[in-house]
Amino acid sequence: MKQVYMETFGCQMNVADTDRMELLLFQSGYLHTPHVEDADLVLINTCSIREKAEQKVFSLFGGLKPLKQANPDLILGVAGCLAQQEQTVLMNRIPFLDFIVGPDAVESIQQIIHRVELGEGPIVWTEFDSEKNYSIPEQPLIKDPGPSAFVNIIKGCDKFCSFCVVPFTRGREKSREAGEIYAEIRQLVDKGAKEIVLLGQNVNAYGKRGLEQPVAFHELLYGIADIKGVERLRFITSHPMDFTRELIAAYRDIDILMNHLHLPVQSGSNRILELMRRSHTTEWYMDLIAQLKSEVPDIALSTDIIVGFPGETRQDFEGTLKLMEQVRFNNSYMFTYSPRPNTPALEMADDISHEEKQERLQQTIQLQNRLTEENSQAFLGQEVEVLIESVTSRRGMSFRGRSPHYWSVVFKGGEDHLKPGDVTRVRVEEANGHVLKGNWAANRHCSARSDGGRGEL
Ligand code: SAH
Ligand code: SF4
Ligand code: F3S
């Protein structure tokens, strides 16, 4: 068999696309290899969300050039958001490329490779598939999904935030039929998955567009909760404007829906939010959080923040710090603004200096570190429920997993009783940044849960 080497940058959507291509390529006779030197086909799945992501790809291809020179039959391809966005630039800067495939065309990977093998390259395949239903044909899984599995439920984004390339690289929003999602989840559970994480750039816009049989996002959650064997359910990433009352009720009513929400706010200044075209205000965001907390008091929250957006004054920035402090996020993904091709924010002057952006970023990081530290203290001496994801031998520990609130947990003990995929209880003894450390709360362990995660241990 021939061998394919794949590398993935960017978000979970790209990871899912790489998995999909790997499966299709396997059917075309390509076996996955972790060694680039052994490959007959090298496929790099790229991201273009910020400039840094883009630079990584160009430096990677610099390193691949000697391989291609040594073996002219080696097929080199670029997939993903950068491929969609920069077809011409990529072809010019990497003249030895054999193909480019956009995120909406991953299904065509077999035909593309076939044509390259016939000598028809280089091939550029970046059309958006706006006609066909968003459907992932059922295929047998080739990989063990592990205890926590991602499931794509919606593609594209229609929000057009002024700084963001995603609507241009991934195209219009389209939901996937619920029946197909349920079937994939059943298959994953049969293969040992315990936790399902629903994926989409704008996951709670699910059901708005592209479904033959309309199902609202909260209804989908109830449907998944009824599937036997799903012990935990999560979703990323939500947009504040698509957050419904029914979704708040779902958090309250669905036991297996973990009490954690990642809800990007981006800024704590209404003026900047408007320039960002986020279509929500800080008041709207805070009100949503208050409603959610009144129904689900222990909900854990995380967010995304951009600092140094064009025109962001010191006062605007302080609004962001204030909002972070008010919500007391467990975790934030923090970025300095990066001007991106095609986006409306390019029209605005990128007027905050590099130093000032870095200074603001450092301040948000420091604040978040303090909030994380303070929030973690609440768990000291407490027992938390952990879904074990892997074995670890680092620093004398035995297993690594996650708590319902999405804290990473490492713990000692239970080696003779536990395995990845088990849900168990851990007494937290130490909190170290984003990681809780503890000991197995041995006597209260129950490995094979028959109640779908609903009952008390
Ligand atoms: N769909 C999600 C996430 C989009 S991408 C959402 O709506 O929030 C992940 C994060 O990257 C964004 O939330 C944003 O914080 C950041 N990001 C996107 N474009 C960026 C840019 N041009 N510069 C800096 N950060 C950016
Ligand atoms: Fe980008 Fe905004 Fe869509 Fe998120 S909601 S993917 S930030 S355009
Ligand atoms: Fe990057 Fe595209 Fe995801 S730009 S973050 S890979 S949607």
Q: Which domains does the chain have, with CATH numbers?
A: 2-125 (3.40.50.12160), 148-377 (3.80.30.20), 380-450 (2.40.50.140)
Residue nearest to ligand 2 atom 4, measured at CA: 201
Helices 314-327 and 354-377 cross at an angle (nearest 10°) of 10
Confidence of residue 454 (pLDDT cuts 50, 70, 90): very low
Rounded-to-integer distance, Cα 209 and Cα 215, Å: 10
Report the pLDDT value the prediction gives residue 232, as an integer from 0 to 100: 98
Calculate how far, in angstroms, residue 129's C-alpha sits from the geometric centre of ligand 1: 24
Task: Indicate if the pLDDT at residue 1 is higher than 90.
Answer: no
> Where is average pLDDT lowest: 119-133, 295-309, 398-412?
119-133
Task: Indicate if the pLDDT at residue 447 is higher than 80.
Answer: no
> Where is average pLDDT lowest: 88-92, 168-172, 249-253, 442-446?
442-446
* Contact (CB, 8 A) for 117 and 162: no
- Mean per-residue pLDDT, 340-356: 95
- Mean per-residue pLDDT, 416-430: 96
Report the pLDDT value the prediction gives residue 452, as an integer from 0 to 100: 37
Ligand nearest the Cα of residue 262 is: 1
pLDDT averaged over the chain? 92
Residue in 301, 263, 304 with CA at minimum distance from that of residue 163 = 304
Calculate how far, in angstroms, residue 238's C-alpha sits from the geometric centre of ligand 1: 12
* Contact (CB, 8 A) for 227 and 214: no
Q: Is cis: bond before 339, omega within 30 of 0?
A: no
4-39: pLDDT as tens digits: 999 999 999 999 999 999 999 999 999 999 999 999
Report the pLDDT value the prediction gives residue 141, as an integer from 0 to 100: 63
Confidence of residue 59 (pLDDT cuts 50, 70, 90): confident
Q: What is the DSSP string of 64-84?
A: HHHHHHH-TT-EEEEEEHHHH
Task: Give the DSSP H or E segment for 410.
Answer: strand 408-412
Task: Indicate if the pLDDT at residue 445 is higher than 70.
Answer: no
Beta carbons within 10 angstroms of residue 347's beta carbon: 8
Residue nearest to ligand 3 atom 3, measured at CA: 11
Confidence of residue 140 (pLDDT cuts 50, 70, 90): low
- Mean per-residue pLDDT, 146-170: 95
Report the pLDDT value the prediction gives residue 57, as an integer from 0 to 100: 86
Report the pLDDT value the prediction gives residue 448, as an integer from 0 to 100: 41
Calculate how far, in angstroms, residue 49's C-alpha sits from the geometric centre of ligand 1: 7
Report the pLDDT value the prediction gives residue 139, as an integer from 0 to 100: 63
Confidence of residue 360 (pLDDT cuts 50, 70, 90): very high
> Where is average pLDDT lowest: 134-148, 220-234, 254-268, 276-290?
134-148
Calculate how far, in angstroms, residue 389's C-alpha sits from the geometric centre of ligand 3: 25
Mutation pick for ligand 3 pocket among 8, 14, 78 (CB with most ligand atoms within 8 Å)? 14
Ligand 3 site, residue 166, Cβ cutoff 6 A = yes
Ligand 1 site, residue 154, Cβ cutoff 6 A = no
Residue in 6, 68, 8 with CA at minimum distance from that of residue 32 = 6
Task: Give the DSSP H or E segment for 385.
Answer: strand 383-391
pTM: 0.93
Confidence of residue 456 (pLDDT cuts 50, 70, 90): very low
Both tokens of residue 303? 């967010």
* Contact (CB, 8 A) for 395 and 429: no
- Mean per-residue pLDDT, 45-63: 89
Separation in Å, CA 346 to CA 162, 200, 304, 339, 451: 8, 25, 20, 6, 53
104-130 core/surface letters (b: 16 or more CB in 10 A; e: else): bbbbbbeebbebbbeeebbbbbeeebe
* Contact (CB, 8 A) for 83 and 46: yes
Q: Is cis: bond before 88, omega within 30 of 0?
A: no
- Mean per-residue pLDDT, 396-404: 95
Report the pLDDT value the prediction gives residue 131, as an integer from 0 to 100: 59
Ligand 3 site, residue 77, Cβ cutoff 6 A = no
Task: Indicate if the pLDDT at residue 135 is higher than 80.
Answer: no
- Mean per-residue pLDDT, 202-215: 89
Task: Give the DSSP H or E segment for 124.
Answer: strand 123-125
Both tokens of residue 277? 């075209």
Rounded-to-integer distance, Cα 317 and Cα 332, Å: 15
Rounded-to-integer distance, Cα 316 and Cα 345, Å: 17
Confidence of residue 450 (pLDDT cuts 50, 70, 90): very low
Task: Indicate if the pLDDT at residue 305 is higher than 80.
Answer: yes
Calculate how far, in angstroms, residue 49's C-alpha sits from the geometric centre of ligand 3: 6
Residue in 270, 275, 369, 376 with CA at minimum distance from that of residue 323 = 270
Rounded-to-integer distance, Cα 248 and Cα 270, Å: 24
- Strands 148-152 and 195-199, how do they pair? parallel
- Mean per-residue pLDDT, 59-75: 90
Separation in Å, CA 406 to CA 195, 380, 402, 432, 449: 12, 16, 5, 15, 20
Q: What is the DSSP string of 389-401?
A: EEE--GGG--EEE
Task: Indicate if the pLDDT at residue 129 is higher than 80.
Answer: no
Number of H helices, E strands in the chain: 13, 19
Rounded-to-integer distance, Cα 419 and Cα 280, Å: 44
Residues 6+ apart with CB under 8 A from 189: 196, 227, 228, 229, 230
- For the chain, give the number of residues: 457
- Mean per-residue pLDDT, 175-203: 94
* Contact (CB, 8 A) for 112 and 125: yes
Report the percentage of the chain scoring pLDDT > 90.
Answer: 81
